Amino acid sequence: MRGGITYNLVVVRSSELSDTEVDAIFGALADATRRDIIVRVMRHEQSVSSLAAHYSMSFAAVQKHVAVLERASLIHKQRSGREQIVHAVPQSIAQARSLLDQWEELWRHRAAQMERILAEGELERSES
Amino acid sequence: MTVVSTDVDREALSLTMVCEFDAAPDRVWRLWSDPRQLERWWGPPGWPATVTAHEFTAGGRIDYHMTGPEGEISAAWMRVTALDAPHFIHLEEGFSHDDGRDNPSMPLSECAVRFEALDDASTRMTVVFRYSSLADLDLVVGMGMVEGLTAAAGQIEGVLATAA
């Protein structure tokens, strides 16, 4: 039963978001500034400081908005020298990332099965 | 201990698994090259695999399906992009529609498997799994979805403001 769920998740979840992920996304998008940030970084990646220049709030406040978007996997921050560059993360990538743990579990299972087959020896096997 | 390490790289969207087996590389290789052995370990628990085509050469194709606990069928394929027995196999993986045609809306992935002899009777196998078609998916699915959600959230806020 567990395994069936694992495989279903690997297959089905690649086209669906979990409730928690949807909540995080809607929470993140429930703010006009954060929506504006998303639209800007979807057009092109940019640093937190160049984003901050568009708003009348403090740099720290903009950084907080960016952090909320990052927790919802909508954007990704990457350090480039002294700057933090903000990229939009398409949802397919966010989903692929969350599926990696499922793939890890599947490959561990595969390795265990392989070991089991090898342990049987080649008594009744004649192929080469 | 079979599995020496697994490493999930969330930046590169890849998974690396290193494991060691008490068998020579030739023997471990046959777990892949013999379809009857492949189908005994490929499927997750409860989802045994049935290999229906197995062309184990560079450019060859492997078709298989897995049968779930309720009898549901999930069809998929692999393409051997490169191989050198018993040293390495590179595979591309994807899903199929029920009628056997490729299903391009499911993510493609690729697997590079390396076999190294540790001594006469043991092998280290390294599997590197990664997604291979995300760039296309992003453009089609990802951006559209975020834009849609962004627009929808903006409208909800507009409706709430009007109602207040």
Residue A126 lies inside a defined structural domain of this protein: no
Identify which has the larger pLDDT, A60 or A74.
Answer: A60
CB neighbour burial string for A29-41, b if at least 16 within 10 angstroms, e if fewer: beeebbbbbbebb
- Test A117 with B46 for CB contact under 8 angstroms: no
| Termini Cα distance of chain A | 34
d(CA A11, CA A33): 35
Q: Is residue A15 part of a domain?
A: yes
C-alpha pair distances (Å), B34 with each of A1, A19, B39, B120, B123? 27, 41, 9, 21, 18
- The pLDDT value recorded for residue A105 is 86
- The rounded distance, in Å, linking the Cα atoms of A107 and A115 is 12
The whole-angstrom distance between B135's CA and the closest CA on chain A is 9
Single-letter amino acid, residue B49: A
Residue ranges in chain B whose pLDDT is less than 50: 135-146
Q: What is the pLDDT of residue A91?
A: 63
Mean pLDDT confidence for A98-112: 85
Euclidean distance between CA atoms B40 and B50, whole angstroms: 9
Q: Is residue A16 helix, strand or coil?
A: coil
Q: Which residue of B has its CA nearest to A114?
A: B41
pLDDT of A112 higher than 80: yes
pLDDT of residue B144: 45
Q: Is residue A13 part of a domain?
A: yes
Mean pLDDT of A13-42: 74
**pLDDT recorded at residue A11:** 45
Residue identified by tokens 């280290």 is: B124
The SS3 assignment for A15 reads helix
pLDDT digits (tens, 9 = 90+) for B54-95: 999 999 999 998 888 888 888 888 999 999 999 999 999 877
Strands of chain B (E only): list them: 3-9, 14-21, 49-54, 61-67, 73-84, 88-95, 109-119, 122-131
CB pairs under 8 A between A and B: 142
Q: Within a domain: residue A127? A: no
Evaluate whether residue A124 is within a structural domain: no
pLDDT at A12 exceeding the cut of 80: no
> CATH top-level class for B3-132?
alpha beta
In a domain, A92, yes or no: yes
Q: A34: domain CATH number? A: 1.10.10.10
The burial of A108, by beta-carbon neighbours within 10 Å (0-12 exposed, 13-18 middle, 19 or more buried), is given as: middle
Say if A38 falls within a structural domain: yes
**Binary contact (B138, A90; C-beta < 8 A):** yes
Q: What pLDDT does residue B105 have? A: 56
Report yes or no on A24 lying in a domain.
Answer: yes
> Which helix (DSSP H) or strand (DSSP E) does residue A8 occupy?
helix A2-12
pLDDT at A47: 94
Domains in chain A: how many in total? 1
pTM score: 0.64
Residues of chain A contacting B149 with CB distance shorter than 8 Å: 25-26, 29
Domain membership of residue A61 as a residue range: 2-118
Helix axes A91-119, A2-12, angle to 10 degrees: 140
Q: Which of B31, B107, B154 faces A96 most closely, judged by CB atoms?
A: B107
